[in-house]
Amino acid sequence: MKVLVIGANGQVGQQVVNMLHAHERHTVRAMVRKQEQLEAFQKKGIEAVLADLEGTVDEIAEAAKGCDAIVFSAGSGGHTGADKTLLVDLDGAVKAMEAAEKVGIKRFVMVSSFQAHNRENWPENLKPYYVAKHYADRMLMNSGLNYTIIRPGYLRNEKGTGLVTIAENLNGGSIPREDVARTIVQSLDEPNTYKKAFDLMSGDTEIAEALKSLQ
């Protein structure tokens, strides 16, 4: 399938793009905000398109035309102001869903945040970020899209192990960004992840096996 990666210049997004570019079954289009980001992907032979989550639904829909799936890995970051968080993590995500519906894309993989579904576990200093993630996820679950919502724990930069723990509710932990990216890519056409949301941490189970055994 052809996959539009929104947030392609982020740390997880870049890894997702590179994995999809090398994939035998998938192709990729990277959505970025800046011309220099576009050119950096194009120099690597990767299709890229300019569009802004703070722009219009039509702009995002145009970027998504011809794709079969969307991966939403964009984020303002938990330490930006609440205004930017609302514009990107909530409204930007909803615009991406509306764009998918507008051009007939059904498959939508959302990168959320650990325990975004559980208000009792939100860190006090990150509440606006978690509010945005929570309601974006709820909007996606109530849409007509074939969604998967991935809620990774604390993100680390070391090399991935390919071993994870996946469940609706986990107690906490962390995970390399590389393993988050691998999980996103492997979720795309894994039917057992369709219409499901789950926490994701480092663990001792191969990603493919963990996804197939998800309850």
What per-residue string of b and e applies to 22-48 under the rule 16 or more CB within 10 Å gives b?
eeeebebbbbbbeeebbebbeeeebbb
Partnered with residue 199 across adjacent β-strands are: 151, 167
Q: How many residues does the chain have?
A: 215
Instruction: Kindly name the residue from 129, 130, 135, 194 that is annotated as catalytic.
Output: 129
Concerning whether 130 is annotated as a catalytic residue, the answer is: no
Sign of CA dihedral 80, 85, 87, 92: positive
Which tokens is 104 given?
């007939």
Contact (Cβ atoms closer than 8 angstroms) between residue 155 and residue 204:
no
Give the chain's radius of gyration (CA, Å).
16
With vertex at residue 68, the alpha carbon angle to CA 157 and CA 46, rounded to the nearest 5 degrees, is 50
d(CA 207, CA 213): 10
Instruction: Give the residue numbers marked as catalytic.
Output: 129
